[in-house]
Amino acid sequence: MFTQLHTPLPVHVLGKGPGMAFAVIDYGIEHHLLWVTALDEGGEIWCAPNPRVRIADNWTWGRTKAPLEPAAETGQ
């Protein structure tokens, strides 16, 4: 399923940099979500798997700088 985000989200793709996610692709329960993201630098568009995407900081919501390292996967 392809879902366009009606409000793009500012994200950071590990290894690629900051950008705006404007859609999500969901292939089902056995797959990671793919975040369709336009990168700030150069304007490239990438489909980044969920473990490689971090939401941007938001002072208003109390979200401080997220770690820019991939989370350990548990295999579950």
Q: What is the pLDDT of residues 14-51, one digit of tens each?
A: 999 999 999 999 999 999 999 999 999 999 999 999 99
Does the residue 72 lie in any domain?
no
Q: Please state the domain count of the chain.
A: 1
Residue 41 pLDDT: 95
Q: Is the pLDDT of residue 73 over 80?
A: no
Does the residue 61 lie in any domain?
no
Q: Is the pLDDT of residue 76 over 60?
A: no
Does the residue 12 lie in any domain?
yes
Does the residue 66 lie in any domain?
no
Strand order of the sheet with strand 17-25? 45-49, 34-39, 17-25, 2-13, 53-55
Does the residue 62 lie in any domain?
no
Instruction: Indicate the DSSP class of residue 14.
Output: T
Residue 62 pLDDT: 74
Does the residue 63 lie in any domain?
no
